[in-house]
Amino acid sequence: MNNPYILWTERLSVRFGDFWALRNVDFAVREGELRVVIGPNGAGKTTLMDLITGRIKPTSGKIFFDGHNITGKSPHVIASKYHVGRKFQGPNLFENMTVAENLSLAAPGLHTVGAVFLHKTPKAVLEQVSEVLKKIGLLEKRGRLACELSHGERQWLEIGMLMIQNPRMMILDEPTAGMTEEETYQTGKMIQDLQEGRTILVVEHDMKFVRQVAKSVTVFHMGRILAEGPISQIENNRDVVRVYLKSERTEEKKDA
C-alpha cells in the first residue's frame, strides 16, 4: 500500500535547555495538500519548520520526506536534493536589482549576479521568469527595482523566487504579515493558484486568510498538536477557542 504522505514526523522533539519547544510530535502532510499551521506564539510552529528545513536538529525523533529520512540533514541538502523551499516572514531580496533580475538569480543553474547584469540569462530562464511574473501579478513591474515595490509586492516577489526553483514542497512563514486587506486576499488567491498539485505548508495568524485558503488545519499549543482537521471543525473546537481563537477573534473585532 502506498504511503499517501510526502512529509511526516515520528515522535519529533527538541529541547532548548530546560524548555521543550516540541515534544513527541507526529505530524503528516499529504502530497499535493495545502496545510495551514496555526497556534499561539511559542506554540512550536516555527520550530517545526526549522526542523523540517534543517535549520535546527531534533533532540529526538525522525523526519521523513518522500520516504527519505532527512533528520538532521543540512538546509542546503534539504533544499537542493529534496526540493523543500521556504519563504521566511520578511522579504529577503536584492534591493537594487529589478524584479526580473531577482527571479533570474533565484532560478536553478544561474547563481551569479554577473551573469544577470551581463544579460547572459538563458532563454529558457527568461521564459520561466515571465511565467512566474504572470502568476505573482508583477509582469508589468518586471523592470522596477525591488526597493520600489510595496510591502505586499515584495512578499509576492519572494514567493516567486521560491516558485521558480520548482520545489516539491513550499513552506510559507506568515506570508501575509504586514499586508493590507486587499493584498492579503490577493495572496490567498495566488497561493491557491500556485498549488496545482504542489504541496504547500503555511504558517499564519490571520484567521480571515486561513479561512480563505485552508482545507486542513493543524493547531499547535505548548509544543504539541492540539487539534487537526477542516477549518470548520477547528473553529468549533472548544480547546482551540480557549487557547487561541478567543484572543484572535477579539483582535478581529478591534480591527473591524
Q: Is residue 28 part of a domain?
A: yes
Q: What are the residues facing 224 on neighbouring strands?
A: 221
Name which residue leads in pLDDT, 144 or 256. Answer: 144
Q: Which domain holds residue 224?
A: 1-83+202-256
Query: Does any domain span residue 191?
Result: no
The answer as to whether 168 is a domain residue is no
pLDDT of res. 97: 92
**Is 29 inside a domain boundary?**
yes
Arithmetic mean of pLDDT, 58-79: 96
Backbone angles phi, psi at 253, to 5 degrees: -65, -35
Q: 132 lies in a domain?
A: no
Task: Give how many domains the chain has, as a whole number.
Answer: 1
Q: Tell me, yes or no, whether 177 lies in a domain.
A: no
CA distance 64 to 86: 17
The answer to whether residue 71 sits within a structural domain is yes
Whether residue 109 has pLDDT greater than 70: no
Residue pointed to by grid coordinates 521558480? 164
pLDDT-based confidence at residue 114 (cuts at 50, 70, 90): low
Can you give the pLDDT at residue 1? 47
Let me know: does 85 contact 79? Beta carbons within 8 Å. yes
CATH, residue 41: 3.40.50.300
Pick from 39-43, 77-81, 88-92: least confident: 88-92
Could you tell me if residue 159 is inside a domain?
no
Instruction: Give the model confidence (pLDDT) of 180-236 as tens digits.
Output: 999 999 999 999 988 877 899 999 999 999 999 998 999 999 999 999 999 999 999
First to last CA, the chain: 49
Decide if pLDDT at 110 tops 90: no
